Structure 1
């Protein structure tokens, strides 16, 4: 007797549909770049796409950056550009970390200087391929600084309020950096020249700091400066802090490691107030000597050490921790890195290592950063500051000493496992 007309059970039907869906999913993973592009642009809405692929799939990520939010004309233009790129011997379309950059590239595709069809990759390195492609399309004169182009590969195309994609196009058209209207503060011709010389790998703000120090002959202070909180934003107080750099740079035999603690003390004095005194936003360096600044910083540091006796309920103050995993070196647990989550823990860390990490309470509460403690054989040895963008920007030992080689090894290993970026200035 034939089984052709036999009723299929609901369970069997569900299994069959699941297998068909799995088969379709597997087929899509084997699709060429051209097939993926055609499929993406055939979906009119994100809902239509999600009916066929999961929301966390690589195709959904590409749809978000390449298709979603574009009108019909832009979609057609973007599709043609991506199909042209698919004809090249490049893996740019296959790498998920390149997806956002290619989306931005297609957004500004009308501003290109050259045809995409004329570009040929000269290296197998995907990041160098992207840099070459951006320079080919948008750099008409070949003089866009490397740090501007590298921003495309890092995905950090906005820094200090500056749109690096628009800056790329602006400079690629032969215009000056100082004429770019999207900057947080005006720059001079001299400052522009120095910014163009900033090393590749710098962010916009780091290139600005590089130029500011180069123009005052103080480039040797770039490391200490970039480890401070004020250096990571551009604001009206820049000139004040640069005056402090000048004071340090012109004072003989001053420890560069004291620059950060003095900045912390001044920031606290201006924004919170020292002890019972109110904030002094108009605090000035006029008439102050290096000796007095160091002495007052040390006095403030000692006062932070007394907070555990007098702060009371403040010691239990907490904040939302950064979603970063703690670290243990292995079964021996010789090396442990843990996130500090209360004000009392900050105070204890500062007391143990004789630095001013307790002053970071407000920064932690406002979500600007989180503080981690590295212990070796149970003893505190290094305090780490991790910014909200998952970059380790400070690593200080007792009395603000720098990382030792063995400590750097463990910090680097933790950064790799926790998907953090280690600042090149540490």
Structure 2
């Protein structure tokens, strides 16, 4: 029976041959590089530490060696003189080994680790490698001509060298920009890593006003900073139909949104009441409607003395939008789920002395026959009387009350 190592060598040889570069000089440099890497490390061998068994991962390393060979004219040292780092207390990471090789071959001046690791990325683009070589030759990131159009003040170059190891080059540039403006480190990391700011470039003069808002208003919580960024992006740039739902079109809801005159307090208020405010400006959003079939559960009118409780299903996009605007929550985002019968939304209201009042919005999962959410205004908990009435209705309809 053939050993596992035999198959490893077979896959390795096939991948090495498949990825060899064209051109005699590049090909010779490639095979010499492969020979030296095998001689000096176990990166391309099933040696005693931790061989690469995943063909996709192995392909990424071999593809990187091919690119390294094609950049041989930028080498500062030869592969033969490379001394791999020594493992301490355990097997050496393949990434660390490759990082050492790149540093030996190219770096006349220090380059941040994330730039070296970007060579392995399947999403790497040509300017990543060009920027790495640019930095390795001693030039600054601000002088690199092909970088994305992210504004980088002089102070940003220092922060760029300190960016986290798991960042992409674009994320690192965004992070450096934010840090140079004075944005807190945790917030800069949140914005660069988890929002479109770390991957998309555009409308830079506007976004600069947002980032400087974080500093001016002393935003200290990274979750709130993320929520602010996401809110502004969806209001100003995303298609309205994605944000509002059916009834809107491709135009953003607030294309003229600016940071002028805003404070953190006023923006928080805007983020809470935005649906109601937009309905006031664009009432046509509540007028376009479509309906869906009701669920198998029955509505209810429950009389207690002079107090009348009503429980009924919301069966149109307009009904959900108006409920969300009145209750200051996001139930309008459930339109598609309701239309596809994945869930069912109900409104609990009370009439006391002839005055109607919305008390709760309820989410029912029809297939599971369960009530999974019940929220009062602003997503607050429902009061005891509302809970009592909801429990009564659930028992009457054979629903599990999971709140």
Task: Quote the residue 2:179 is aligned against.
Answer: 214
Paired residues of 2:76 and 2:108 also in contact (CA < 8 A) = yes
Measure how far apart 1:140 and its partner are.
Answer: 1.5
Distance 1:239 1:114, change over 3 A: same
Paired residues of 1:113 and 1:139 also in contact (CA < 8 A) = yes
Paired residues of 1:131 and 1:153 also in contact (CA < 8 A) = no
Measure how far apart 1:78 and its partner are.
Answer: 1.5
Paired residues of 1:198 and 1:211 also in contact (CA < 8 A) = yes
Task: Quote the residue 1:197 is aligned against.
Answer: 162
Distance 1:112 1:308, change over 3 A: farther
Task: Quote the residue 2:93 is aligned against.
Answer: 125
Paired residues of 1:171 and 1:177 also in contact (CA < 8 A) = yes
Cα RMSD for the two superposed structures: 4.4
Distance 1:154 1:357 in 2: 39
Larger Rg: 2
Give the TM-score normalised by the residue count of structure 2: 0.57
Task: Write out per-residue CA displacement over residues 330-377 of structure 1, whole angstroms, 9 at most, x where no aligned residue.
Answer: xxxxxxxxxxxxxx9xx99xx8xx669949x9xxxxxxxxxxxxxxx9
**1:100 aligned residue (57, 63, 87):** 63
Distance 1:103 1:244, change over 3 A: same
Distance 1:182 1:226 in 2: 20
Q: Secondary structure at the match of 2:40?
A: coil
Task: Quote the residue 1:265 is aligned against.
Answer: 231
Task: Quote the residue 1:157 is aligned against.
Answer: 124
Matched, 1:168 2:132: yes
Task: Quote the residue 2:43 is aligned against.
Answer: 91
Task: Write out per-residue CA displacement over residues 288-331 of structure 1, whole angstroms, 9 at most, x where no aligned residue.
Answer: 33333222322236799xx99976489xxxxxxxxxxxxxxxxx
Distance 2:64 2:95 in 1: 11
Task: Quote the residue 1:75 is aligned against.
Answer: 27
Distance 1:225 1:233 in 2: 10
Paired residues of 1:261 and 1:297 also in contact (CA < 8 A) = no
Matched, 1:284 2:248: no
Q: Secondary structure at the match of 1:163?
A: helix
Distance 1:137 1:249 in 2: 41
**1:298 aligned residue (256, 272, 284):** 272
Distance 1:268 1:253, change over 3 A: closer
**Aligned length, in residue pairs:** 282
Show structure 1 runs of 5+ residues with no match. 1-22, 37-56, 315-343, 362-376, 382-397, 400-426
Paired residues of 1:194 and 1:211 also in contact (CA < 8 A) = yes
Measure how far apart 1:229 and its partner are.
Answer: 3.2
Distance 1:358 1:180, change over 3 A: farther
Distance 2:229 2:214 in 1: 11
1:14-413 correspondence runs (5 A): 26=2, 30=6, 57=11, 59-64=13-18, 66-67=19-20, 70-92=22-44, 95=52, 96=55, 97=57, 98-122=61-85, 123=87, 124-141=92-109, 143-158=110-125, 163-185=127-149, 187-220=152-185, 221-226=187-192, 229-251=195-217, 256-271=222-237, 272-273=239-240, 278-279=251-252, 280-300=254-274, 312=290, 358=333
